[in-house]
Amino acid sequence: MYSLIDIQKKLLPDLLQIMQKRYLILQYIDRMQPVGRRSLAQSLGFTERVLRSEVEFLKEQNLISITSVGAMITSIGKDLLEKLESVMREASGIDVMEAQLKSIFQIQKVVIVSGDSDETPWVKTELGRACASSMKKLIMGKNIIAVTGGSTMAAVADKLTPDFKSDDLLFVPARGGIGEEVQNQANTICSKMAANTRTKHRVFYVPDQVSNEIYTSFMKEPMIKEVLEIIRSASIVLHGIGDAITMAERRKTDAKELEKMRSENAVGEAFGYYFNEAGEVVHKVLTVGLQLSDLDEIPNVIAVAGGSSKVKAIKAYLQKAPSQTILITDEGAAKGLLKGYPLLK
């Protein structure tokens, strides 16, 4: 039995393309308002001529208003946007892709946001929003949330709000620092998450990668042991998935080790573990913080990564990911992950 969406795909494919374009424009205005036309065109990848006609149409329908500071969505536009969400997910096949990825990788859940964060940077904001929404559904009673660093986790922090408030919510860094920009360090992100939710956080001022001697010394420090115990007792872990070579270079990996990783086809990284395309660990750095094996004891693991360039990295990690993983990704990555698999009916 064909649904209305299926019939439209067959008979009126152009109509669906127009709907998706206008939905994307409304969604962006809603998230970023007030926004200028030029910024809107650049962010969505439309020419200004095309965007001008679409903006005029949306204005005529009273879905947006144009002010001196830019375009803003109206209450009618907001209501329509909310009602369109499920329709557009079905039209773009996102629901089907989520179910298929969950089945292929045998994980708890997959959430896909529209777009490709490689092509449209604001999609990373949507990844953060989707992660915040997923977290909210998991928080009950006392919760310790362990968080890694990175720009994606920083995007998640931006989307947390005071309605998360709980006297028993504690954010902790899942690892030490790896020389990233300050705003992308796990300590900074935890501090921001706690500030945005009006809850608590702990700091963990240790380097991410250390020698055997320093690691042994650190493990004897009472303060470090205490924080590590808190991290390992987390009820939720939030983490990104990195490109292997990019992460190795960020860690200032020795040239010989870097060449060895390239020869062994390392494509993905998480928690200091480097994976090849088959999901095998080809390299491991000694890190202070959460280890891959620790994830088995944590009830909910939320992995957030998007962009078509991250397909190999995400796929490699998911072959080792614990079954309680929730993957938050975008269409660009999802379509790449599904290449070679027959589509579900």
Q: With cut-offs at 50, 70 and 90, classify the pLDDT of residue 286.
A: confident
pLDDT at site 267:
94
pLDDT of residue 218: 67
What phi and psi, each to the nearest 5 degrees, are found at residue 121?
-55, -30
Q: Do the strands 109-113 and 169-173 form a parallel or antiparallel pair, or are they unpaired? A: unpaired
Say what percent of the chain tops pLDDT 70.
88
pLDDT for the residue numbered 37: 83
Q: Which pLDDT value is given to residue 309? A: 94
Which pLDDT does position 296 carry in this prediction?
92
Handedness of CA 210, 214, 216, 217 (dihedral sign): negative
Chain-centroid distance, C-alpha 98: 15
Q: What's the rounded Cα separation, in Å, for the pair 291 and 232?
A: 9
- The set of residues, in sequence order, having a beta carbon less than 8 Å from that of 344 and lying 6+ positions away, is 96, 99, 100, 103
Q: What is the per-residue pLDDT for 109?
A: 96
Whether 1 has a pLDDT exceeding 60, the answer reads: no
d(CA 149, CA 254): 22
Question: pLDDT at residue 5 above 90?
Answer: no
Q: Which domains does the chain have, with CATH numbers?
A: 4-91 (1.10.10.10), 93-337 (3.40.50.1360)
Query: Percent helix, strand and coil across the chain, each rounded to 5?
Result: 50, 20, 30
Give the model's confidence band at 314: pLDDT under 50 very low, under 70 low, under 90 confident, else very high.
very high
At 240 the pLDDT is: 93
* Parallel, antiparallel or unpaired: strands 281-284 and 300-304: unpaired
DSSP category for residue 209: B
181 pLDDT band (50/70/90 cuts)? low
Percent of the chain with pLDDT over 90: 41
> Which residues are CB-contacts of 198 (< 8 A; sequence separation ≥ 6)?
162, 165
Q: What is the pLDDT of residue 100?
A: 94
Does the pLDDT of residue 343 top 70, yes or no?
no
What's the pTM value of the predicted model, to 2 decimals?
A: 0.85
How does the average pLDDT of the chain come out, rounded? 85
Return the amino acid letter for 144: I
Where in the chain does DSSP place strands (E)?
64-67, 70-73, 109-113, 143-147, 169-173, 200-201, 236-240, 242-243, 266-270, 273-276, 281-284, 300-304, 325-330
pLDDT at 207: 64
What pLDDT is attached to residue 204? Answer: 79
Burial (CB count within 10 angstroms: exposed 0-12, middle 13-18, buried 19+), residue 220: exposed
Question: How do residues 39-94 score in pLDDT, each as one tens digit?
Answer: 888 778 788 888 888 888 989 999 989 988 888 999 998 998 888 887 887 777 88
Q: Give the whole-angstrom CA distance, residue 34 versus residue 69.
A: 6
- pLDDT per residue over 122-161, tens digit each? 888 899 999 999 998 998 878 899 999 888 999 999 999 8
Mean pLDDT computed over 199-208 = 79
Q: Flag the least confident range among 31-35, 59-63, 338-342.
A: 338-342
Question: Which of these ranges, 59-63, 211-215, 247-251, has the smallest mean pLDDT?
Answer: 211-215
In one letter, which amino acid is 288? V
pLDDT value at residue 149: 87
User: Of 105, 125, 101, which is closest to residue 114 (Cα–Cα)?
Assistant: 125
| Model pLDDT, residue 12 | 59
Residue 323 has pLDDT above 90, yes or no: yes
Place of tokens 């995400």: 314
The DSSP secondary structure of 262-327, one letter per residue, reads HHTTEEEEETTEEEETTS-EEEE--BSB--GGGGGG-SEEEEE--SGGGHHHHHHHHTTS-TTEEE
User: What per-residue confidence (pLDDT) applies to 189?
Assistant: 93
